[in-house]
Amino acid sequence: MAQYNDVSSIVIDLGFENTKIGYSGDENPKNIFSSNVGVPLDLEEKIKNEIYRKCLCTKDEFYMFNLIYPLFYLQPRENIKLKNCLYLDNKNNFNINEDVLEKILFMNINGDRSVDKLIQNRIKGFIGNKLYKQTDTGSEYIDADNNINENDKNYTEVINNAQTDSEQNNYNHITNDPNNLMSTLKEWSEENGYFDLDVLENSYIDICGIKNMLNKYNNVSCGLNENMENFPYVFSLPNKRNKQIKTKIAELLFEKYKIPAIYFNSKSILTGFAYNKKVCSVVDIGSCYTDFSMCSDGIIDDKNYNIYNIGGTSVDMFLEELLQKHNNSSLVPYYESHKEKNIHTNKKDSYNSDNVHIDYYTKAKYIPLRDLKSYLCEVANSENEINKAKNMALNEHVDIYILPDGQNINITKFTNIACEIFFTPSLLNETAINSHLNNLYTKEQIFEGIPTTLFNMLQNIKSIEYRQDLLSNIILTGSSTLFQNFNERFINEFANLDMMNNGNFQNYQVLNNGKDFKKYSSWKGGSILSSFKNFNSFFVTRKEYEEFGFEIVNRKC
């Protein structure tokens, strides 16, 4: 069994809204970015026209380098569509887009600097004197720190100064002799199927295309500056129906990147590790789904598991309906507000709103609302507030909050009502999002609220000892559980349910280790678990994968 004690694993928590990435043993993830990428609408056409041949890339590299990541939605992006990392397929199984995952991993681990450096080295190494002598743009790809004077240094020295020791090994056969250079180019192009030699010999290279390709990253350096192939990986995945995700990730990382080892586990199991609990009841409210898991010794009870369509985005969409109905106002992205300002000040608008894809606009318009939601919304807890929230009574006292861009989205009327859907889901019955109450796998089962759903699931457990262990270790996790009074309201309603059912549930406890645990619980669990000295045996190694295929992944994870 290979040993990885001297190499930190990289822990990855895949979510529908965000992906969290960091080193095992750390308290919190290093990177938290969107789980979506932007795909230029003309990308397929460019590939069809073989533009990549002029940009020093393979077809696959050109596609990957042109995907836009990370996305922040604070600025308009024209002529791109969104592509999600995770999705639910037509058989209600969780699935993954490998190209999006690869882009996310590459940008978060290798980082955008590595793309720039790769292209620099290809320009310097493979085009060499031809580009430097025949164009005036090659100098833009010379590291400024090297202060290279082409009159004083020959081509070989330029190459050596521009590369690290490991990279130099790949280029040390290049000389100043044009014949040798073209011979090397020919071998390289034939091996990789990259270029037409006529294109190379005429230095017909699309410098503008290369520049455009390198400017896809919002000028954000989000990577760990590591090499993907050097690390074992620990993945936190959706609790159930995740086989397709494991298959695709294992195939991508083992077969393409030749990583040493990999490990998968479910979010709720890893959440239990974060709280140091082998037996626990986990309620995870994500952005798109809320699931209820009974966990025991690394296993989730399949017969007593529920997942519903309700989540953090349900609160956003409910707030949007309330704003339209009671305030007669609509959501707009931050950049649209700036556009309105420009109209009044006669400033020229820098983009065409007709070119902004509806998917991108829809994501962007919720960003200002989410900023206010996290700051203002809270769960009703007193008897009076609860009655008002259940009856959709609007707050009479209205405060005005102005966002940094000047927008005024007045949600103070609804600050208690918005979060009430987790406790009184019937509020959504007459809305456009009533389908969010459906059980993902059992359509006839409707969401009854967080306390009621968990209470009924615990009642299904026959073993008194096992049920008591679950009652003693209730974990509420996910960003939506950070709303003020969430835990208190849950405890009060759970107690009322217990009293109405003869008080059979004794000594129940909701675990609370702070905000970071609620936000990053499954990532923290993966970080803690993979830092144990005896964790090596849990990994699926590349050797095992090559010998037994995916079956070994399915058996060990």
Per-position DSSP letters for 385-440, written without gaps between them: HHHHHHTTPPPSS----B-TTS-B---GGGTTTGGGGGT-GGGGTTSTTGGGGBBS
Residues with Cβ within 8 Å of 425's Cβ and at least 6 positions away in sequence, in order, are 310, 437, 446, 447, 448, 449
pLDDT tier at 501, thresholds 50, 70, 90: confident
**Over residues 146-161, mean pLDDT:** 34
CA 397 to CA 526: how far, in whole Å? Answer: 45
- Report the alpha-carbon distance of residue 383 to residue 378 in Å, rounded: 14
Among 33-37, 171-175, 339-343, 551-555, where is mean pLDDT lowest?
171-175
Report whether 544 contacts 552 (CB < 8 A): yes
pLDDT of residue 413: 85
214 sits in which H/E element: helix 207-214
Query: Picking from 215-219, 232-236, 283-287, 373-377, which range would have the lowest pLDDT averaged per residue?
Result: 215-219
pLDDT of residue 219: 52
The pLDDT-based confidence of 149 (bands split at 50, 70, 90) is very low
Is 90 exceeded by the pLDDT of residue 82?
yes
| Predicted pLDDT of residue 146 | 40
Does the pLDDT of residue 375 top 90, yes or no? Answer: no
Whole-number pLDDT of residue 484:
95
Arithmetic mean of pLDDT over the chain: 83
pTM summary value: 0.84
Question: Which CATH code for domain 276-309+438-512?
Answer: 3.30.420.40
Would you say 111 and 33 are in contact if contact means Cβ atoms under 8 Å apart?
A: no
HSE-CB at 499 with a 13 A cutoff on CA atoms is 6
Residue 507's pLDDT is what? Answer: 84
Position 131 scores a pLDDT of: 42
> For the stretch 42-71, what's the b/e string if a residue is b when 16 or more beta carbons lie within 10 angstroms of its beta carbon?
ebeebeeeebbbbbbbeeebbbbbbbbbbb
pLDDT at 172: 30
Q: In the chain, what are the domain boundaries?
A: 40-67+113-202, 276-309+438-512, 312-434
Exposed (0-12), middle (13-18) or buried (19+): which is 423, by Cβ within 10 Å?
Answer: buried
Kind plus residue range of the DSSP H or E element containing 456: helix 450-459
Does 195 or 477 have the greater pLDDT score?
A: 477
| Per-residue model confidence as pLDDT tens digits over 288-312 | 999 999 999 999 999 999 999 999 9
Question: Per-residue pLDDT tens for 91-125?
Answer: 899 999 999 999 999 999 998 878 877 777 776 66
- Looking at per-residue confidence, does 131 or 230 come out higher? 230
Selection from 426, 519, 511 nearest residue 470 by Cα: 511
- 253 against 146, higher pLDDT: 253
Give yes or no for residue 245 having a pLDDT over 70. Answer: yes
pLDDT at 148 over 60: no
Residue-wise pLDDT tens digits, 190-223:
565 554 555 454 455 776 777 777 766 545 556 8
pLDDT higher than threshold 90 for residue 1 = no
> Residue 223's pLDDT is what?
80
The predicted pLDDT at position 496 comes to 93
Q: Among 53-57, 400-404, 491-495, which range has the highest average pLDDT? A: 491-495
Encode pLDDT of 440-450 as tens digits: 998 789 999 99
* Predicted local confidence at residue 198, as pLDDT: 52
Q: Is the pLDDT confidence value at 362 over 70?
A: yes
Instruction: Quote helix, strand, coil % in the chain, to nearest 5.
Output: 50, 15, 35
Query: Nearest to residue 37, comparing CAs of 327, 271, 360?
Result: 360
Tokens 């645990």 found at: 517
Tell me the average pLDDT across 31-43.
94
The confidence score (pLDDT) of residue 127 equals 55
Mean local confidence (pLDDT), 45-55: 88
Q: Which residues contact 211 (CB under 8 A, 6 or more apart)?
A: none
pLDDT of residue 126: 56
* Predicted local confidence at residue 341, as pLDDT: 52
Average pLDDT over residues 17-35: 94
Instruction: pLDDT band for 338, please (50, 70, 90 cuts).
Output: low
- The superfamily in CATH containing domain 312-434 is ATPase, substrate binding domain, subdomain 4 (3.90.640.10)
- Residue 136 pLDDT level (bands cut at 50, 70, 90): very low
Per DSSP bridges, beta strands 10-14 and 18-23 are antiparallel
pLDDT at 203: 53
Q: What is the dihedral of CA 448, 452, 17, 268, to 10 degrees?
A: -140
Total residues found in the chain within this entry: 557
